[in-house]
C-alpha cells in the first residue's frame, strides 16, 4: 500500500463518528513477526490512531487472563451528579436511567445531554461537574442512558433493538416530558449531543418547542454529516479489530485509555463501566450479535451495546443532520476536535454566520471526556450569550436616566 493511500485512509478514519480505535496489543500477548506482517494491510488503515490492528488470536485456550490494574479501577458516578433516578417512560416501554443535578434557581437552565452510540450517560459526568462548578450552580445538567445503553431497561417482554433515528428522538422527547411534565414549569433547556446524540438532540428541538418547552440552544459535539457518512464503510474494519470483551472492568478502562479512545483516564474510570456488562447477565446471554455476548464467551465482561448490530441505522443517524442543524430555530453551536471536518453545507452556513463553531485542541472524538474543562468553558460562554439574548429588556419609566 502506498504512503499516499495510507495517509488518505488515516485521515478518513480519524473522522469516524464512533471513534473506535484498533485492538491494543499487550507485550505479553504480542504476536510474532510473521503474524504481525500478515496484518500489515489492515494496520496501515490505522496510522495515527494508536497501535496497529492485528489478526485475531486463536481460541480462548491461548489467552492469558490479566490481573486487574488498580490504576484503572472504576470510579462511582455519585460524586458527579446530585441524583441518579430510574424514570418511567410508559409510552416508550422504557425505564430510563437519568443522572441529574438541578440548577440552584427555579428559572435556571439545564443542559440536557445525549451520548453517542456505544457510550452512556456517564460519558458526561466530568463535564457535568465542571459545568455546575464553573457556573456556581446557575446551570444544571441532566444526562440519560438511551435504549440499549447503560442502565436504561425495557419494560416490554423483549427488548426492542431498533435504534432508528426516529425512535431515538421520540425516546428523548418523551424522557424529557416524563422528567418535566408541565412545559411551562420546566427550566430552560440547552440540548447537548455527542456524535449520534448530536443528531438526536438536533431533531428534537422542533418537537420540544412545539410541546411548549423553552430551548435556548443546541450544541453538537464532533459530528458532521458529510464526513460521518463517508467514513461509515470503514466501520466494520474497525469493529473487526475491536476486542470482543474483557477479563475485568479495569482492563476495559485501560483499553479505552491506552488506545486513546478516551484520553482522560479519570473520565474513563467513571464512564467505561457503564458501557460493558458481565457476560453471565441475562441481557448478554440473550444477545446474539457483536461477537462476544451470549453463552460461551471467554470474557468476564462484554459490550452493553454490540455496535455491529446497529449498522443498519448508521446512515439514518447522520443523513440530513446538517440541514436539520441549520434549520433549528434556536442558537446553534458546533464543537469539533479538528478543523477539517465541515461538509459543504456547514461551510456555507458558517460563512453566513448561522452557527457558532469552536475547535477543541488536543482531543479525540470523545472531546467532552478528553478535556471537560475546556468544553465546559465553551458551553458556558455559549449559554451566557444566549441567556442574555432571551432576557426581555427592561422598559424604563418616564424620567429615568
Digit-coded pLDDT (tens) for 186-242:
999 999 999 999 999 999 999 999 999 999 999 999 999 998 998 888 888 878 878
For the record, the C-alpha cell of 391 comes out as: 432576557
Rounded to 5°, the CA angle 130-133-136 comes to: 145
Q: Quick one: what percent of the chain has pLDDT higher than 70? A: 77
Per the prediction, the chain carries an average pLDDT of: 82
pLDDT at position 25: 35
Q: Quick one: what percent of the chain has pLDDT higher than 90? A: 65
β-pairing verdict for 215-221 and 331-336: parallel
Q: Of the given ranges (12-21, 176-185, 201-210, 357-366), which has the lowest mean pLDDT?
A: 12-21
For the record, the C-alpha cell of 187 comes out as: 427550566
pLDDT at position 16: 46
pLDDT at position 301: 95
Residue 308: CB partners within 8 Å, gap ≥ 6? 236, 239, 289, 290, 291
Tell me how far apart the alpha carbons of residues 365 and 236 are, in angstroms, rounded to a whole number: 18
The residue among 4 and 389 whose pLDDT is bigger is 389
pLDDT at position 4: 39
Q: Tell me the catalytic residues.
A: 195, 222, 365
pLDDT of 276 > 60? The answer is yes
85: number of Cβ within 10 Å: 14
Residues 154-187 pLDDT 10s: 999 888 889 999 999 999 999 999 999 999 999 9
pLDDT of 289 > 80? The answer is no
For the record, the C-alpha cell of 212 comes out as: 411548549
Residues 93-144 pLDDT 10s: 999 999 999 999 988 999 999 999 999 999 999 999 999 999 999 999 999 9
Topology given in CATH for the domain delimited by 77-230+322-390: Rossmann fold (3.40.50)
Is-contact 372 126, C-beta < 8 A? yes
pLDDT at position 389: 59
Report the run of H or E that residue 381 belongs to, with start and end: helix 372-390
pLDDT at position 106: 85
Q: Of the given ranges (2-11, 32-41, 374-383), which has the lowest mean pLDDT?
A: 32-41
pLDDT of 353 > 50? The answer is yes
137: number of Cβ within 10 Å: 15
pLDDT of 46 > 60? The answer is no
pLDDT of 295 > 60? The answer is no
Q: Tell me how far apart the terminal alpha carbons of the chain are, to the nearest angstrom.
A: 74
Domain ranges of the chain: 77-230+322-390
For the record, the C-alpha cell of 345 comes out as: 453545507
Amino acid at each position: 500500500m502506498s504512503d499516499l493511500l495510507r495517509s488518505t485512509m488515516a485521515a478518513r478514519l480519524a473522522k469516524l463518528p464512533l471513534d473506535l480505535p484498533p485492538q491494543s496489543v499487550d507485550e505479553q500477548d504480542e504476536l510474532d513477526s510473521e503474524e504481525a506482517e500478515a496484518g500489515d494491510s489492515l494496520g496501515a488503515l490505522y496510522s495515527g490512531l494508536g497501535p496497529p490492528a492485528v489478526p485475531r488470536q486463536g481460541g480462548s485456550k491461548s489467552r492469558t487472563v490479566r490481573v486487574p490494574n488498580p490504576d484503572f479501577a472504576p470510579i462511582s458516578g455519585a460524586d458527579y451528579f446530585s441524583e441518579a433516578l430510574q424514570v418511567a417512560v410508559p409510552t416508550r416501554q422504557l425505564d430510563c436511567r437519568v443522572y441529574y443535578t438541578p440548577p440552584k434557581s427555579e428559572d435556571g437552565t439545564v443542559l440536557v445531554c445525549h451520548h453517542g452510540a456505544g457510550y452512556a450517560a456517564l460519558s458526561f459526568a466530568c463535564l457535568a461537574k465542571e459545568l455546575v462548578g464553573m457556573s456556581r450552580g446557575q446551570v444544571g445538567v441532566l444526562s440519560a442512558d438511551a435504549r440499549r445503553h447503560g442502565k436504561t431497561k425495557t419494560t416490554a417482554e423483549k427488548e426492542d433493538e431498533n435504534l432508528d433515528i426516529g425512535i431515538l428522538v421520540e425516546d428523548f422527547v418523551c424522557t424529557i416530558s416524563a422528567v418535566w411534565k408541565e412545559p411551562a414549569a420546566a427550566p430552560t433547556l440547552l440540548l447537548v449531543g455527542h456524535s449520534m446524540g448530536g443528531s438526536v438532540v438536533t431533531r428534537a428541538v422542533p418537537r420540544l418547542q412545539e410541546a411548549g418547552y423553552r430551548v435556548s440552544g443546541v450544541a453538537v459535539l464532533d459530528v458532521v454529516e458529510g464526513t460521518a457518512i463517508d467514513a461509515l464503510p470503514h466501520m466494520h474494519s474497525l469493529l473487526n479489530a475491536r476486542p470482543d470483551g474483557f477479563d475485568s472492568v479495569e482492563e476495559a478502562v485501560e483499553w479505552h485509555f491506552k488506545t486513546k479512545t478516551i484520553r482522560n483516564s479519570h473520565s474513563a474510570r467513571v464512564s467505561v463501566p457503564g458501557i460493558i456488562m458481565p457476560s453471565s447477565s441475562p441481557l448478554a446471554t440473550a444477545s446474539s450479535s457483536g461477537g462476544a455476548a451470549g453463552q460461551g464467551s471467554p470474557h468476564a465482561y462484554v459490550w452493553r451495546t454490540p455496535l455491529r448490530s446497529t449498522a443498519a441505522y448508521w446512515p439514518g443517524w447522520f443523513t440530513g443532520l446538517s440541514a436539520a442543524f441549520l434549520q433549528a430555530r434556536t442558537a446553534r453551536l458546533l464543537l469539533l476536535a479538528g478543523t477539517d471536518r465541515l461538509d459543504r453545507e456547514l461551510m456555507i452556513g458558517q460563512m453566513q454566520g448561522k452557527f457558532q463553531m469552536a475547535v477543541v485542541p488536543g482531543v479525540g472524538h470523545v472531546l467532552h471526556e478528553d478535556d471537560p474543562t475546556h468544553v465546559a468553558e465553551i458551553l458556558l460562554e455559549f449559554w451566557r450569550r444566549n441567556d442574555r439574548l432571551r432576557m426581555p429588556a427592561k422598559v424604563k419609566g418616564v424620567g429615568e436616566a
